[in-house]
Structure 1
């Protein structure tokens, strides 16, 4: 007697889960590096701006400072890409039409292709709204189209961008190795298809890895950042590729939920205390990152403020308890290790409940 069981489905699921865990680990690493690196850039760019006025008397130094600022800004842009890879990018979400977003990008997409191929937009009409951060999804689409253009042969080809509302069964999502795994159902889809060289099966599982690239000089962050942004929108990506035929990358996004109108309660308008002239105000500045805190202190003093500078929560509470009647505003780092920002804010509000607090991280 011989018993046989097909375990290919289980193996595929295990492989997808391993790929998802790997992307999460790499994303967490990239996000941690980007966060720390971003704090260094705040120090560099902030100090450059603070001394730039003095440098106007000597144009040679001013040009050097401009070069530092430009390089720092490029590094800051790279940080944002790394944060996107980790799914830690900041999104301003609003319901929107995916077809309208693609339609409005035609000229940008044609510029990204650079005349190497024809651009064919096949956009669905009356698609359900999608909760989206428009700027981030534009970045995703630009990355996919740029990648598709780079996969074309020297004689060019065609790139098709297609939007639709599509229902996916669980089998389709499993066979296509959707990352991250999504439940079956209807999704609003934006697919980018090219007639290029295709992706070799041996490297297909790596195309979303941070810093992986098949191009000479490529940073390997475009598709990884795209994946992080899509994950941040609770969506997933499918890749269908045949060597020497072409590749289709599909972005699956959940449709916006149907909202039930609820009676609105009248809200009391908060007093606008943040647009006052800061000159002469006493600011309690609390941040454990000394270089960042010094830059912030420099900006505040240039605005005419007096500053109490503290590097931890307990000391800030102690100083505030002594001078709470003088302090006008508190600027508070939420990510402090010793007595976190939220706990510190609560202690400060016990002493003076109406003190304005600006939180940062």
Structure 2
């Protein structure tokens, strides 16, 4: 009988091998298990045996991995091993297919030893279950409780176990995939991955890999498959996908585009955002590298090449640079490029570079404005200091010249020479005033002004300042908020801008447009508009002057606000510098756009005022010379002290002179009631004029005090803390202007 069984088994092995394509995985595994019997009974050579095993193993590899193939092989060996008639289930859910046959014929001994080893190993593999369906589901073996928490008996008892415990959201998609596979005649291996509910209510990811055969009616006659626990894999994939999505979101939020350069093929690839940044939408990948190189500024391209060469030599792993990329004629955007070696070959040479890029033109513009502001601020401090000292010198020149002129007949030749000296000193005074304005320390009379009135008041003047070949268009806004400013200084700004626009057009026919609009300033605009950090306003009225003249090159544009810089053949180069100082004093801003050959647009921003328009103050006449006065004066400049002494003598006044505030206090304390007025320079060593004025005011509320300075009063007024009876006079001054201020302070203090 045993020879009969073995003969049948051998024939089955041969038939299985011959009809392999039609038998599916179950047949393949069974055939592989029967091969040892066939080779023994039929006398197959070792080569034939190896060929048969190779053929079957190739077919089996379409379904599962090596470990899973061993599991299928174990299941198949059960068919050729004598078993007990009553199967039973182990406690761990593995179906016991029967007991191993006692030591039998030698021809199956080696095979049973192999089966025992495989069986022992497979029992220890977690997360795998092998089943067959013909048509009912039966599990050959597997750790089913570890997969879903159900025992094999509980699972098989379900009407449709897979659909019963599959997540509803995955069920519809799974049915669609299965229906397509069935309609195609069950080709190849069906792989399905879905969430399943475990017995404890939690979910886990399982993957089902199945091969099946169709019956005569196109239905499924039988199937065999492997269920694998892929929950850790799916969770890891999801975590990786989520991390990649976060990285992609971060890159996109930061304005980054991604690029990759294959150094072996030379091919450059970019995502859509990178192409948009470079203006390369529509450019094929094979042409991207040439496009990028052709659009990059030559100077920057040389730096990029140098970085690449260092990477190829192994001198660096990554690089970062900001390159100028051309967009249109004479228009460059600043692109930040970051790259890093992503792969190397066996010799350590870079084969792939991965990187990102983004447009940082706005950031570069802000940084330039900030650097320009710092440079101009330093120049402003220097200009203000020069103007202060200059005013002191001019004060002595104008003062002595005025005194000299008063003692000479007007027709005398000396009087005419003195007049020329005074006119020259006056021009120097105006220049010093412009330096002060540039430093933001000019003498400004701030008030709430109507924009329409301001423009109306300057229109006639700017119309006559431009050539008849130029068309001047001035907008007359109907309703705009008031602005806070000095009417005279605003007129100066507009006149300066229109004059510059006219000069830019020259003798050609052209057009100048003066416009007005409301502007809201965020943090970025405040920086690019050069608005001082101490300005709290968020709403501004923008006055713009646009021309279609010659425009300016980028290098000239970067220096346009520097003092003494000019593109004209004549002029001292303080016009725009002074304008910037005026706007600083107004806590406003300036913006400029210009392209060579296309014209220039200047925009100045004045803070909106919520106060009503103030009426023009009436002009009061000087009260005259008055009676003889006792004057307490302090100035650290010897020339000013000499001038004050001569002036007092010439006009019949008495004067006590001090070199600093401390000396002035001692003189005052020695004779508290002996002075009618005090005249102090603001900036002095040891003790300045402001501190001296406060010391005197704390002991005497009635003594009028006049503070004088080559700067404006903005530095002095805050320190006075509301003390009254203290007025201010800008240097340089003449004897008449000083006496007028003294008489004004005596008749009624203004501060």
TM-score bracket for the superposition, by shorter chain length = 0.7 to 0.9
Counterpart Cα distance in 2 of 1:256 and 1:295: 43
Q: Residue 566 of structure 2 aligns to a residue in which SS? A: coil
Counterpart Cα distance in 2 of 1:355 and 1:184: 39
Q: Deviations over 1:267-290 (max 9, x none)?
A: xxxxxxx96964232111111112
Q: Residue 294 of structure 1 aligns to a residue in which SS? A: helix
Q: TM-score, normalised by structure 1?
A: 0.88
Pairing 1:59-78 to 2, within 5 Å after superposition:
59-78=412-431
User: How far did residue 33 of structure 1 move?
Assistant: 0.7
Counterpart Cα distance in 1 of 2:667 and 2:522: 61
Match of 1:337 in 2: 685
Q: Residue 478 of structure 2 aligns to a residue in which SS? A: coil
Match of 1:158 in 2: 511
Match of 1:328 in 2: 676
1:45 aligns with 2:398: yes
Q: Is the Cα contact below 8 Å between 1:324 and 1:351 reproduced in 2?
A: no
Counterpart Cα distance in 1 of 2:526 and 2:546: 18
Match of 1:107 in 2: 460
1:6 to 337, 352, 358: 358
Q: Is the Cα contact below 8 Å between 2:366 and 2:524 reproduced in 1?
A: no
Q: Is the Cα contact below 8 Å between 1:208 and 1:224 reproduced in 2?
A: yes
Q: Is the Cα contact below 8 Å between 2:660 and 2:689 reproduced in 1?
A: no
User: How far did residue 163 of structure 1 move?
Assistant: 1.4
Pairing 1:272-287 to 2, within 5 Å after superposition:
278-287=626-635
Pairing 1:221-240 to 2, within 5 Å after superposition:
221-240=574-593
Pairing 1:174-213 to 2, within 5 Å after superposition:
177-180=528-531, 185-213=538-566
User: How far did residue 84 of structure 1 move?
Assistant: 0.9
User: How far did residue 5 of structure 1 move?
Assistant: 5.0
2:603 to 243, 250, 267: 250
| Gap change, CA 1:85 and 1:327, over 3 Å in 2 | same
1:298 aligns with 2:650: no
| Gap change, CA 1:293 and 1:116, over 3 Å in 2 | farther
Match of 1:347 in 2: 695
Match of 1:85 in 2: 438
Q: Is the Cα contact below 8 Å between 2:537 and 2:608 reproduced in 1?
A: no
Counterpart Cα distance in 2 of 1:165 and 1:11: 26
1:318 aligns with 2:666: yes
| Gap change, CA 1:168 and 1:331, over 3 Å in 2 | closer
| Gap change, CA 1:276 and 1:352, over 3 Å in 2 | farther
Match of 1:270 in 2: none
Q: Is the Cα contact below 8 Å between 2:678 and 2:706 reproduced in 1?
A: yes
1:358 aligns with 2:706: yes
User: How far did residue 184 of structure 1 move?
Assistant: 9.5
Root-mean-square deviation over aligned CA pairs: 2.4
Q: Residue 609 of structure 2 aligns to a residue in which SS? A: coil
Q: Is the Cα contact below 8 Å between 2:383 and 2:439 reproduced in 1?
A: yes
User: How far did residue 348 of structure 1 move?
Assistant: 3.0
Q: Which moved more, 1:313-322 or 1:102-111?
A: 313-322
Q: TM-score, normalised by structure 2?
A: 0.44
Aligned residues: 345
Unaligned 5+ segments in structure 1 are 260-273
Q: Deviations over 1:156-183 (max 9, x none)?
A: 3111111122345666666xx3224789
Counterpart Cα distance in 1 of 2:655 and 2:562: 45
Counterpart Cα distance in 2 of 1:181 and 1:348: 35
2:656 to 308, 332, 349: 308
Counterpart Cα distance in 2 of 1:247 and 1:63: 45
Q: Is the Cα contact below 8 Å between 1:278 and 1:305 reproduced in 2?
A: no
Q: Greater relative contact order (Cα 8 A, min sep 6): structure 1 or 2? A: 1
Match of 2:447 in 1: 94
User: How far did residue 251 of structure 1 move?
Assistant: 0.6
Counterpart Cα distance in 1 of 2:512 and 2:497: 10
Q: Which has the larger radius of gyration?
A: 2
Match of 2:495 in 1: 142
Q: Is the Cα contact below 8 Å between 2:532 and 2:587 reproduced in 1?
A: no
Q: Deviations over 1:183-203 (max 9, x none)?
A: 995320110011101111222
Q: Residue 358 of structure 1 aligns to a residue in which SS? A: strand
User: How far did residue 344 of structure 1 move?
Assistant: 1.9
